Amino acid sequence: MTGRRLGAREWLALSRLPGLGAARLAELAVRAPAWPHGWLALLPREAATALRLWLDHPARSPLGDDIARAEAWLAAAPDRHLLHPGHPRWPALLAEIPDPPPLLWAWGDLAALAPPRLAMVGARRATREGLTNAAAFARELAGRGWCVVSGMALGIDAAAQQAALDAGGASVAVLGCGVDVVYPPRHHRLHARLRAPGGLLVSEHPPGTPARAAFFPRRNRIVTGLAFGVLVVEAAERSGSLVSARLAGEQGREVFALPGSIHNPQALGCLRLIRDGAALVRDVDDIVSELAQWLPASRVPAPPDQAPAEDEGASGDPLLRWLSGQPTPVDTLVGLSGLGIAECQRRLLELELEGRVAQVAGGWVRLSGA
């Protein structure tokens, strides 16, 4: 067990060591010490003693029961995952924030992490106009191939995530509790939808962890850290959404805000953000044009040339609506279309034989006239 890359079992052990918080663990992980001796040399004494006992005598270690329960939860279904540095789906953007989570529990469709991501946040007590705007922007972003990241909270969060999923797009919810805990309870249907194709629930807390007030401000750093930017749809002057905007700025993310009436208390937070330098947003183009500079060319979703033609629905190939002249990877198409990877590849082959799509470097493209 020397000098190899850590797997889920090792990360489970590290995450449960006494006297080792998430921030310290993430700090050590950046140094990529060899396993296990490099870790043992860097860990605080109490944590190092506990790790050595688990390595040498796992049956006597108090870590054993915790790890066994976690592994049982992960093994219970194929859509349960433990993401960690080195995992093929670990979001690289998290390496850019000052206090990344050392690991993420995930439940749902990991393909939801493939498209470029935008965080959408806003008031829990949103106005009808705010909810309408959140849904409209989320639908349009989904149609452009973007994933909507939020916190599954009441109001703007839920409206944006539900609309993105309803449009056939992808959405990631970051929770302030275990991924198997439905909070707020009234969102049990949204929670279930986020475990279906196109959706993903993530949390830095183990399954079964109840929601606690102290977890939500920390949760917000992951919401913004997963995304290239954050759109504040509606927020009062004293709002948790403004905390998210501040975190995004500190993380080097772009901050966008929808303007509103000076007579609407739920718009005053957005107006303040705009006054302080956030980008004023009128439509999705204002966001995409600003963020395109941060994306590799192969990751920039192209705007739709036109609405899906009527004969696309009759053809039975909804993949066409997600394809354009820009290459789109298969895993992105899986997340956007909701198809399984085998079904997605089968349909792409049929469309290729019909001369409607082609495979190029970076993914698949729709041929002109298709």
Task: Say if residue 57 is in the same domain as residue 138.
Answer: no
Place of tokens 């993914």: 363
Task: Say if residue 334 is in the same domain as residue 248.
Answer: no
Residues 6+ apart with CB under 8 A from 164: 138, 139, 141, 142, 147, 148, 170, 171
| Within a domain: 85 | no
**Can you say how many angstroms the Cα of residue 29 is from the centroid of all Cα atoms in its chain?**
21
CATH no. for residue 219? 3.40.50.450
Q: How many residues does the chain have?
A: 370
Q: For residue 282, which phi and psi values (nearest 5 degrees)?
A: -105, -30
Task: Say if residue 53 is in the same domain as residue 190.
Answer: no
- Strand, coil or helix: 32: coil
| Within a domain: 226 | yes
How far apart, in Å, are the Cα atoms of 284 and each of 135, 258, 299, 342?
A: 12, 11, 17, 32
| Within a domain: 152 | yes
CB 344 within 8 A of CB 197: no
**Residue 327 domain boundaries:** 310-366
| Within a domain: 245 | yes
Q: Considering the entire predicted model, what is its pTM? A: 0.78
**Which of 178, 196, 225 is CA-nearest to residue 111?**
196
Q: What is the H or E stretch that residue 365 is in?
A: strand 363-366
| Within a domain: 123 | yes
Chunk the chain into consecutive blocks of 10 residues (it has 370) and report each block's average pLDDT, rounded to whole numbers: 71 91 84 92 94 93 91 95 91 89 95 95 92 94 95 95 95 98 95 96 96 92 96 90 92 94 91 94 91 61 44 54 76 70 80 82 73
| Domain boundary residue, one of 34, 57, 76 | 76
Cα–Cα distance measured from residue 287 to residue 132, given in angstroms and rounded to the nearest whole number: 18
Cα–Cα distance measured from residue 363 to residue 298, given in angstroms and rounded to the nearest whole number: 9
CB 109 within 8 A of CB 200: yes
Structure tokens at 70: 């976690």
| Within a domain: 89 | no
User: How crowded is residue 346: how many other Cβ atoms within 10 Å of its Cβ?
Assistant: 12
| Domain boundary residue, one of 34, 51, 76 | 76
CB 101 within 8 A of CB 230: no
Start-to-end CA span in the chain (Å): 54
Q: At what angle do helices 128-143 and 284-291 cross, to 10 degrees?
A: 50
Cα–Cα distance measured from residue 157 to residue 292, given in angstroms and rounded to the nearest whole number: 24
User: How crowded is residue 186: how many other Cβ atoms within 10 Å of its Cβ?
Assistant: 10
